[in-house]
Amino acid sequence: MDNTKFGYSEPVIACEIGCGYGGFAKLFKSWYPNATFIMLDLPETLLLASFFIASNFPKARIGYMADFSQKEVLSSERAKEYDFILLPWWYIENLTAKIIDIYFNFSSMQEMTLEFIRYYFEHIERTCRDGGYFYCESRLHNPLRYGGVSFKYFPFDKSWKIIYSQASEVIIEQIRYRGL
Protein backbone atom coordinates (compact mmCIF):
# COMPACT_ATOMS: atom_id res chain seq x y z
CA MET A 1 0.00 0.00 0.00
CA ASP A 2 2.77 2.35 -0.93
CA ASN A 3 0.19 4.61 -2.59
CA THR A 4 -1.65 5.21 0.70
CA LYS A 5 -0.83 7.14 3.84
CA PHE A 6 -1.19 4.16 6.19
CA GLY A 7 1.69 2.96 8.33
CA TYR A 8 2.07 -0.74 9.04
CA SER A 9 1.33 -0.34 12.76
CA GLU A 10 -1.79 1.84 12.42
CA PRO A 11 -5.20 0.53 13.53
CA VAL A 12 -6.72 0.59 10.04
CA ILE A 13 -10.26 -0.64 9.36
CA ALA A 14 -10.32 -2.35 5.98
CA CYS A 15 -13.25 -3.98 4.19
CA GLU A 16 -13.26 -6.39 1.29
CA ILE A 17 -16.40 -6.79 -0.78
CA GLY A 18 -16.43 -10.34 -2.09
CA CYS A 19 -13.73 -11.76 0.18
CA GLY A 20 -13.93 -15.31 -1.13
CA TYR A 21 -12.11 -17.83 1.05
CA GLY A 22 -10.03 -15.08 2.73
CA GLY A 23 -6.70 -15.22 0.90
CA PHE A 24 -6.27 -11.47 0.62
CA ALA A 25 -7.51 -10.91 4.19
CA LYS A 26 -4.73 -13.23 5.39
CA LEU A 27 -2.09 -11.26 3.48
CA PHE A 28 -3.41 -7.88 4.59
CA LYS A 29 -3.56 -8.86 8.26
CA SER A 30 0.01 -10.20 8.01
CA TRP A 31 1.17 -6.80 6.69
CA TYR A 32 -1.04 -4.73 9.03
CA PRO A 33 -1.27 -6.65 12.32
CA ASN A 34 -3.21 -3.85 14.08
CA ALA A 35 -5.88 -3.72 11.39
CA THR A 36 -9.48 -4.82 11.63
CA PHE A 37 -10.46 -6.60 8.43
CA ILE A 38 -14.17 -6.76 7.60
CA MET A 39 -15.04 -9.49 5.13
CA LEU A 40 -18.35 -9.22 3.23
CA ASP A 41 -19.62 -12.03 1.02
CA LEU A 42 -22.32 -14.63 0.56
CA PRO A 43 -22.99 -16.65 3.75
CA GLU A 44 -21.86 -19.88 2.05
CA THR A 45 -18.53 -18.32 1.11
CA LEU A 46 -18.06 -16.93 4.62
CA LEU A 47 -18.21 -20.50 5.94
CA LEU A 48 -15.04 -21.29 3.98
CA ALA A 49 -13.46 -17.98 4.94
CA SER A 50 -14.11 -18.57 8.64
CA PHE A 51 -12.31 -21.92 8.50
CA PHE A 52 -9.39 -20.47 6.53
CA ILE A 53 -8.94 -17.40 8.77
CA ALA A 54 -9.33 -19.35 12.03
CA SER A 55 -6.79 -21.93 10.78
CA ASN A 56 -4.25 -19.27 9.85
CA PHE A 57 -4.83 -17.01 12.86
CA PRO A 58 -5.73 -19.34 15.77
CA LYS A 59 -5.46 -16.53 18.34
CA ALA A 60 -7.37 -13.94 16.31
CA ARG A 61 -10.47 -12.26 17.64
CA ILE A 62 -13.03 -13.15 14.94
CA GLY A 63 -16.50 -11.64 14.84
CA TYR A 64 -19.32 -13.54 13.15
CA MET A 65 -22.94 -12.65 12.41
CA ALA A 66 -23.93 -14.34 15.68
CA ASP A 67 -21.84 -11.73 17.55
CA PHE A 68 -23.95 -8.86 16.17
CA SER A 69 -27.68 -8.28 16.23
CA GLN A 70 -29.43 -7.91 12.88
CA LYS A 71 -30.00 -4.21 13.60
CA GLU A 72 -26.73 -3.39 15.39
CA VAL A 73 -24.90 -0.49 13.81
CA LEU A 74 -21.23 -1.39 13.59
CA SER A 75 -19.15 1.50 14.94
CA SER A 76 -15.40 1.82 14.64
CA GLU A 77 -15.05 1.23 18.40
CA ARG A 78 -16.98 -2.03 18.15
CA ALA A 79 -15.12 -3.09 14.99
CA LYS A 80 -11.74 -2.56 16.67
CA GLU A 81 -12.64 -5.26 19.22
CA TYR A 82 -11.90 -7.78 16.46
CA ASP A 83 -9.08 -8.74 14.12
CA PHE A 84 -11.53 -10.07 11.52
CA ILE A 85 -15.26 -9.60 11.10
CA LEU A 86 -17.07 -11.93 8.71
CA LEU A 87 -20.52 -10.70 7.69
CA PRO A 88 -23.02 -11.34 4.90
CA TRP A 89 -22.93 -8.73 2.12
CA TRP A 90 -26.13 -7.00 3.22
CA TYR A 91 -24.60 -6.04 6.57
CA ILE A 92 -22.86 -3.16 4.75
CA GLU A 93 -26.08 -1.27 5.48
CA ASN A 94 -25.25 -1.49 9.21
CA LEU A 95 -21.78 0.03 9.00
CA THR A 96 -21.60 3.50 10.53
CA ALA A 97 -20.81 6.45 8.32
CA LYS A 98 -17.10 7.09 7.75
CA ILE A 99 -15.93 3.85 9.43
CA ILE A 100 -13.78 2.32 6.64
CA ASP A 101 -10.24 3.45 5.85
CA ILE A 102 -9.87 1.32 2.73
CA TYR A 103 -12.16 -0.84 0.62
CA PHE A 104 -11.00 -3.68 -1.61
CA ASN A 105 -12.68 -5.47 -4.47
CA PHE A 106 -11.03 -8.11 -6.62
CA SER A 107 -13.04 -8.94 -9.73
CA SER A 108 -16.40 -9.65 -8.11
CA MET A 109 -18.13 -6.38 -9.00
CA GLN A 110 -17.61 -7.10 -12.69
CA GLU A 111 -20.02 -10.02 -12.27
CA MET A 112 -22.77 -7.91 -10.69
CA THR A 113 -25.57 -5.98 -12.30
CA LEU A 114 -25.23 -2.20 -12.48
CA GLU A 115 -28.10 -1.90 -9.99
CA PHE A 116 -26.21 -4.01 -7.46
CA ILE A 117 -22.96 -2.09 -8.06
CA ARG A 118 -24.86 1.15 -7.42
CA TYR A 119 -26.15 -0.35 -4.16
CA TYR A 120 -22.59 -1.09 -3.05
CA PHE A 121 -21.28 2.32 -4.10
CA GLU A 122 -24.05 4.07 -2.15
CA HIS A 123 -22.74 2.32 0.97
CA ILE A 124 -19.05 2.55 0.08
CA GLU A 125 -19.33 6.32 -0.32
CA ARG A 126 -21.37 6.62 2.89
CA THR A 127 -18.98 4.52 4.98
CA CYS A 128 -15.55 5.37 3.54
CA ARG A 129 -13.73 8.01 5.59
CA ASP A 130 -12.73 11.28 4.01
CA GLY A 131 -9.14 10.51 3.17
CA GLY A 132 -10.00 6.84 2.66
CA TYR A 133 -9.28 4.62 -0.31
CA PHE A 134 -10.89 2.18 -2.72
CA TYR A 135 -8.73 -0.44 -4.43
CA CYS A 136 -10.30 -2.30 -7.31
CA GLU A 137 -9.11 -4.87 -9.78
CA SER A 138 -11.61 -5.54 -12.53
CA ARG A 139 -12.13 -6.18 -16.22
CA LEU A 140 -12.00 -3.18 -18.51
CA HIS A 141 -14.78 -4.50 -20.74
CA ASN A 142 -18.04 -6.29 -20.15
CA PRO A 143 -17.42 -9.87 -19.09
CA LEU A 144 -19.94 -11.28 -21.57
CA ARG A 145 -19.76 -14.68 -19.98
CA TYR A 146 -21.40 -13.32 -16.82
CA GLY A 147 -23.48 -10.48 -18.26
CA GLY A 148 -21.69 -8.14 -15.85
CA VAL A 149 -20.63 -4.53 -16.01
CA SER A 150 -17.31 -3.13 -17.20
CA PHE A 151 -15.24 -0.93 -14.92
CA LYS A 152 -15.92 2.27 -16.87
CA TYR A 153 -19.53 2.15 -15.66
CA PHE A 154 -18.70 1.95 -11.94
CA PRO A 155 -20.54 4.94 -10.38
CA PHE A 156 -17.76 6.82 -8.57
CA ASP A 157 -18.97 10.19 -7.32
CA LYS A 158 -16.94 13.40 -7.77
CA SER A 159 -15.07 13.10 -4.47
CA TRP A 160 -12.86 10.20 -5.70
CA LYS A 161 -9.43 11.04 -7.09
CA ILE A 162 -7.42 8.45 -9.03
CA ILE A 163 -4.00 8.07 -7.40
CA TYR A 164 -2.90 4.90 -9.18
CA SER A 165 -4.14 3.23 -12.33
CA GLN A 166 -2.66 0.56 -14.52
CA ALA A 167 -4.43 -1.33 -17.26
CA SER A 168 -3.67 -4.17 -19.61
CA GLU A 169 -5.85 -5.07 -22.57
CA VAL A 170 -8.22 -6.90 -20.23
CA ILE A 171 -7.73 -5.90 -16.57
CA ILE A 172 -7.55 -2.56 -14.75
CA GLU A 173 -6.04 -2.06 -11.32
CA GLN A 174 -6.90 1.21 -9.67
CA ILE A 175 -6.65 3.00 -6.33
CA ARG A 176 -8.88 5.98 -5.66
CA TYR A 177 -8.59 8.44 -2.77
CA ARG A 178 -11.73 9.91 -1.24
CA GLY A 179 -11.15 13.60 -0.67
CA LEU A 180 -13.23 16.70 -0.36
Burial 6-43 (b: 16+ CB within 10 A, else e): beeeeebbbbbbbbbbbebbbebbeebeebbbbbbbee
Residue 98 dihedral angles phi and psi, to the nearest 5°: 60, 35
pLDDT digits (tens, 9 = 90+) for 36-53: 999 999 999 999 999 999
Question: What is 114-146 written as a DSSP string?
Answer: HHHHHHHHHHHHHHEEEEEEEEEEEESS--TTT
Residue 9 dihedral angles phi and psi, to the nearest 5°: -105, 5
Residue 3 confidence (pLDDT): 60
pLDDT digits (tens, 9 = 90+) for 95-141: 999 999 999 999 888 888 889 999 999 999 999 999 999 999 988 87
Residue 150 confidence (pLDDT): 82
By mean pLDDT, which of 7-21, 47-61, 151-165 is the weakest? 7-21
pLDDT of residue 144 exceeding 70: no
